[in-house]
Amino acid sequence: MRYKVLDLFSGCGGLSLGLARAGFDVVAANEIDQWAADTHRHNHPNVELIQSDIRSIQSEYLKEKFFGKIDLVAGGPPCQGFSVSGKRQYGHIKEQNSLVEEYMRVIAAIRPKVALLENVGGFRTGQIKPGNPVMAYLSGAFAELGYEVSTKLLQAADFGVPSFRSRLFVVASRIGKPENVFPMPTHSSESTGSLLRHVSLWDAIGDLPTLNAREGHEGPAEYSERPFSEFQKIQRQNSNGVWNHVAMKHTPRLVERFTQLPQGGRGYDIGRVGEKSSSEQVTTYKTNNQRLVSNAPSSCITANFQSTYVHPFQPRNLTAREAARLMSYPDSYVFLGKRTQMSSSFLKKYGRENEDFLSQYNQIGNSVPPLLGEAIGRTLLKFIEQSGYSRLPAVSHAAKVN
């Protein structure tokens, strides 16, 4: 029996891919963004993609369509408002935080046996509204519906993802206490008898074609050399070539500055060519243009990685395909939409809100690494199978979450 999944806030489909690989049947997904939805449809043609603002999907529709038919509801409400690195540190609470309530509205309507919610670590101390801590809200809302809850912070690199990315997972179950639902690490900084060594950046992307600034093709392009790591061999399976491997259009001056950056160095520290100067830096942002280290997992791939990281050997920022590899997407996974996009504030300023979609870079940086999704999917599947849940009766869908 294949247990059925509804993936909310699905983005380009990283969690959908991971759960499918774990053995779940992802039958439907919801995503509001046009380009992310296009990517999801392209790579998951058998999944019904409901492209809509979740707030506009009526509870009665959800009940009629999914009640008694979905075993697992999964998803990650937008995380930017819960990140401690953004405006939250100044007391700002984003309106998007209230989408957690929409997630719970779906749970109340569908009543799956198990629910999975993913978010940043800062979610644990975040607020939906002033004075309304999100974890307290979730615990109360799930309890009202008869669910028991467990949470754990997982590090993606510990599950074979070649980049550091810590994420909080919340599992809620009405088929028994969700114990042992979280996977045990398979990798660590040092290999041991039971753990493999973390996959390094170079073991992840070192076989991809060398590019200078302004070079590359959306694809498919031929591989320029044979894979030299097990990770690379796996990523190439079922692929007809290299997609989304296009370098940024850096100026010659910026390329020259990048050549000065040692691995682990930052553009913030580099001034005029050949000397340091506080008056002429590569960037005024301390987090931008950091040169990645080749023999360790990459730093966390974020939605803004297009300007955050510099290739460890080539004087340019990462391509979308390199970042996709670092997030554990296979080469057969193709990203649609523009590679980069103007900021939302810029588009709004000039009345171009109708052009505000998630670029390939945004889609990758916002997503759940498929290998991490697969790891938790496997333990969730085992939990459901061992619960004897198929013998449990369906529940009334009259319960509500206020």
Q: For residue 54, is it within any domain?
A: yes
79 is catalytic: yes
More confident residue, 65 or 89: 65
Contacts of 158 (CB under 8 A, 6+ apart): 185, 186, 187, 188, 198
Q: For residue 130, is it within any domain?
A: yes
Mean pLDDT over 195-215 rounds to 97
Range list of H helices, 91-218: 99-110, 134-144, 201-205
Q: For residue 129, is it within any domain?
A: yes
Kindly indicate the confidence band of residue 305, based on its pLDDT and cuts at 50, 70 and 90.
Answer: confident
Contacts of 56 (CB under 8 A, 6+ apart): none
- One DSSP character per residue, 352-370 reads -GGG----HHHHHHHSPPH
Instruction: State pLDDT tens for residues 21-31.
Output: 999 999 999 99
Mean of pLDDT over the chain:
88
Instruction: State pLDDT tens for residues 33-63.
Output: 999 999 999 999 999 999 999 999 999 999 9
Q: For residue 349, is it within any domain?
A: no
More confident residue, 273 or 375: 375
* Distance separating alpha carbons of residues 25 and 16, to the nearest angstrom: 9
Q: Are 298 and 164 in contact (CB under 8 A)?
A: yes
pLDDT of residue 95 exceeding 60, the answer is no
- Report the sign of the C-alpha dihedral through residues 227, 298, 344, 31, in that order: positive
Q: For residue 118, is it within any domain?
A: yes
> pTM of whole model > 0.85?
yes
* Distance separating alpha carbons of residues 363 and 33, to the nearest angstrom: 10
Q: Which of 22, 79, 170, 199 is catalytic?
A: 79
Mean pLDDT over 274-295 rounds to 67
Q: For residue 341, is it within any domain?
A: no
Q: For residue 36, is it within any domain?
A: yes
pLDDT of residue 82 exceeding 60, the answer is no
pLDDT of residue 230 exceeding 60, the answer is yes
Q: For residue 99, is it within any domain?
A: yes
Q: Domain range for residue 79? A: 4-187+368-391
Mean pLDDT over 157-176 rounds to 97
Compute how many other C-beta atoms are within 10 angstroms of the C-beta atom of residue 399. Answer: 13
The domain that holds 92 is classified in CATH as 3.40.50.150
Cα angle 156, 162, 166; round to 5? 25
**Weakest-pLDDT range from 67-71, 190-194, 277-281:** 277-281
Between strands 114-120 and 166-173, the pairing is antiparallel
Residue 84: per-residue pLDDT: 39
**Weakest-pLDDT range from 23-27, 354-358, 381-385:** 354-358
Q: In total, how many domains does the chain have?
A: 1
Residue 354: per-residue pLDDT: 77
- Two structure tokens written together for 194: 């039971």
